[in-house]
Structure 1
Amino acid sequence: MPGAREPRAEPCWADLLTSDLDGAIEFYSRLFGWQYDAQYRSDGYLVALLDCEPVSGLVANDPEFQAPDAWTTYLNVADIHSAMFATKLHGGKSYLKPVAMPGQGTVALIGDPAGAGVGLWQAFAAASFPVNRSHGHRVWNELHTKHFEVAARFYREALGWDLNPVSDSPEFRYYTLGQGSDAAAGLYDIAGQDSTEGWRSYFAVDDADRAAALAEEMGGRVLSAPQDSFFGRTAMLADRGGAEFAVIAPAKS
């Protein structure tokens, strides 16, 4: 049975599937200060930059596939073919078989047994994924699931996650990949809540209230009003196309 090796299948990238690429460019440019360079644009894929460094991607959503606009989280894996095999072995789904990206790495899309999709990424060269907590950078990813036990078992067995409980009560169940300062992703039980399952990307902002108001002003929606947490002030938002994401003004350390 193939096992996960370093890297540890932690989030390394997120991109947006959008039916309005020009509208998304405007929306996220104003919200996060993202910039774009023509040399990074090819085949309907546009890389967003901050301080000349890639931070995310925007993908044109082909209406032929009738897929909803959504953010996709990607997990770095050491062996993408072994990860695909383990996915099927443990009841997961294959949405996109491994595809080589010239000069970069290999990408695939899978789903857990409940159907929540996530990307896999195997880079051709070793890379680190430092977290930048300044405005506009992705700082966290978590899976919102109504099938918590199923998802936890899948990520443990198929991708080798070391899951650690932050809270394990019926009122609030939340596990992390790694723990403390080493935590790299979250698993959140939303059973009984009127919210959508799937992976969520959190982006750092200077002011969560201002970001929520701006998103709404630009035609987006505030799904969960800004509120304080141990990690900072957060809000759950959706862009004009309905793709859900979160913002957080990180707590001062």
Structure 2
Amino acid sequence: MEISAKDVFGAPCWVSLMARDLEASQRFYGAVIGWTFRPARLGEGFSVAMLDGVPVAGIGALAADLAVPVAWTPYFAVDDADVAASRVRERSGTVAVGPVSFPSGGRAALVADLDGAVFGIWAGPVSAGWRVGKGPAPAWLELRTRNAFDAALFYGEVLEWATGRPGCCEVSYEQEQVVLRHDGDPVARLDSGPVEPGAYNPYTRPRWHVHFRVPELDAAVEAALDLGGRTVSVVTTTGTERSIALRDPDGALFTLTSGG
């Protein structure tokens, strides 16, 4: 079942990976997270990851052709991709690709915020079953940036957060983080910290970071290492949750979490 991006405007609505080798990425994430895959409507260079019969993420073998880094990218729902892209430019962000039209009837653009963190905007149909923190969708999204308050102002103006418009996302400050909520549920966190534009270290480069939930963390990490992934952090424990950051064989950064 699909709904309009207008029904969830401002909220995360999808995540995608720009990979170098589509088949290798499918093998890796299938073994690590348990995804299966079906062809996407965009062509043979794209696939949709499925978990429990629900679309979870997109993977496209485009990184080599476009000379872009291999990375997981979150997309946020907007009413009008062209208007949102103009807001990005007006606020000194960067529009890297688009807006372009897709066969599904939507329009999208790949953009970057003031500190260079890349994200996407999407205007079109979205999966009604896809929601951060719910079911098979990512557990949460996290922005690591220089100043979370400045970032919240940028994203708020681009994506219409906390505008008072019915259905908009709300922003609060909780435990030294800016927290984005949609319908009362947390969907993203913005963290302040030391960052270095262009730095290799995933903890010092401004970026959006995707957290995926798995049933058994140790088994998932073992599968990742067996297929050429590598860890970039130690296992951390918060309450009943355990998590660890990894890179896939192409270098894409993500976090696995279990428990909770």
TM-score relative to the length of structure 2: 0.82
Q: Are residues 1:68 and 2:69 paired? A: yes
Q: What is the rounded CA distance, in whole Å, between the counterparts of 1:188 and 1:138 in structure 2?
A: 18
Among residues 184, 189, 193, which one is paired with 1:190 in the alignment? 193
Per the alignment, residue 238 of structure 1 pairs with 247
Contact 2:41–2:103 at 8 Å: present in 1 too? no
Per the alignment, residue 138 of structure 1 pairs with 138
Task: Using the TM superposition, give the Cα deviation of residue 128 of structure 1 relative to its aligned residue in structure 2, in angstroms.
Answer: 6.2
Task: Using the TM superposition, give the Cα deviation of residue 221 of structure 1 relative to its aligned residue in structure 2, in angstroms.
Answer: 1.1
Note closer, same or farther for the CA distance 1:180–1:246 as it changes in structure 2 (3 Å cut).
farther
Per the alignment, residue 113 of structure 1 pairs with 114
Among residues 210, 214, 222, which one is paired with 1:213 in the alignment? 222
Per the alignment, residue 123 of structure 1 pairs with 124
State the percentage of identical aligned residues: 30
Note closer, same or farther for the CA distance 1:192–1:216 as it changes in structure 2 (3 Å cut).
same
Q: What is the rounded CA distance, in whole Å, between the counterparts of 1:95 and 1:70 in structure 2?
A: 15
Per the alignment, residue 59 of structure 2 pairs with 58
Per the alignment, residue 28 of structure 1 pairs with 29
Note closer, same or farther for the CA distance 1:66–1:177 as it changes in structure 2 (3 Å cut).
same
The CA RMSD measured in Å over matched residues stands at 2.6
Which ranges in structure 1 are unaligned for 5 or more consecutive residues?
Answer: 169-173
Q: What is the rounded CA distance, in whole Å, between the counterparts of 2:132 and 2:147 in structure 1?
A: 29
Alignment of structure 1 residues 29-108 onto 2, 5 Å: 29-38=30-39, 42-108=43-109
Task: Using the TM superposition, give the Cα deviation of residue 151 of structure 1 relative to its aligned residue in structure 2, in angstroms.
Answer: 1.7
How many residues end up aligned between the 2 structures? 241
The worse-fitting range, judged by mean Cα deviation, of 145-154 and 103-112 is: 145-154
Q: What is the rounded CA distance, in whole Å, between the counterparts of 1:208 and 1:125 in structure 2?
A: 29
Q: After TM superposition, which residue ranges in structure 1, 4 or more long, deviate above 6 angstroms?
A: none
SS of corresponding position for 2:116:
coil
Per the alignment, residue 178 of structure 2 pairs with 175
Note closer, same or farther for the CA distance 1:180–1:121 as it changes in structure 2 (3 Å cut).
closer
Contact 2:179–2:189 at 8 Å: present in 1 too? yes
Deviations 1:161-197 (Å, cap 9, x if unpaired)?
23211133xxxxx211128952221111231695232
Deviations 1:47-79 (Å, cap 9, x if unpaired)?
111233211111113424322211111011122
